[in-house]
Amino acid sequence: MELIYNHMSVLNEFIFKIYSKSSRRFNRSIFYSSNQKYIHRKAILSFKNNNCYKIEQGVYIGAFTVISVFDDNSPDAYSDSFLSIGSNTYIGENNNIRASGGNIFIGNNCLISQFVTIVASNHNIKIGQLINKQGWSKSNNFVKINDDVWVGAGSIILPGVTIGKGAVIAAGSVVTKDVDENAIVAGNPAKFLKYRQA
């Protein structure tokens, strides 16, 4: 925690906003002290508004982690994108967490290592239309990571996945299917190895 304290304001909350008139979006770099939320000044948090995220007490977000929560602009787009991070969850450096077009729930007391990607939704890919004009799919547009989960460095969690309480995702895994409680999975695609032991 020493590194983050060196960059934190003594104020309860200091918010630096970068506002883009063209996109109507703003980025926030938030520094907490008394609220017991530690967000590094070099993390990038981009939200559509103040109601699309919930970050509980004791959360740590490391430098160069990018978190984004936006909806598509098309008329029939998903409009309830949301991110929730539970209490005492650690999110390390250089992570990519994209709740845009869907919902990401990260439980309490989780460990998200470095260079992890968590994506809530895929793009639609109908033929005959440009992919970048189709927006996000409303099918399986969520990721749920339950309490006490450890996600190893370099892992990718894809849309439609639920990871059970106490599970371990080995470094470099690509998770495409649900993971049982207390299961250890590894590989691309991630496969079951064994259950945690007492």
Please name each of the domains of the chain with its CATH number.
Answer: 52-195 (2.160.10.10)
CB 103, CB 141: distance < 8 Å: yes
pLDDT reported for residue 35: 58
Asked if residue 68 lies in contact with residue 55, where contact means CB atoms within 8 angstroms, the answer is no
Closest residue by Cα to residue 16 from 46, 37, 38: 46
Interatomic CA distance for residues 177 and 189, integer angstroms: 9
**Stronger pLDDT, 194 or 6, i.e. the higher one:** 194
pTM: 0.82
Helix (H, G, I), strand (E, B) or coil at 50: coil
Report the pLDDT averaged over residues 149-166.
98
β-sheet with 161-163: strand ranges across: 53-55, 82-85, 103-106, 142-145, 161-163
Q: Give catalytic residues, as residue numbers.
A: 123
pLDDT at 124 over 90: no
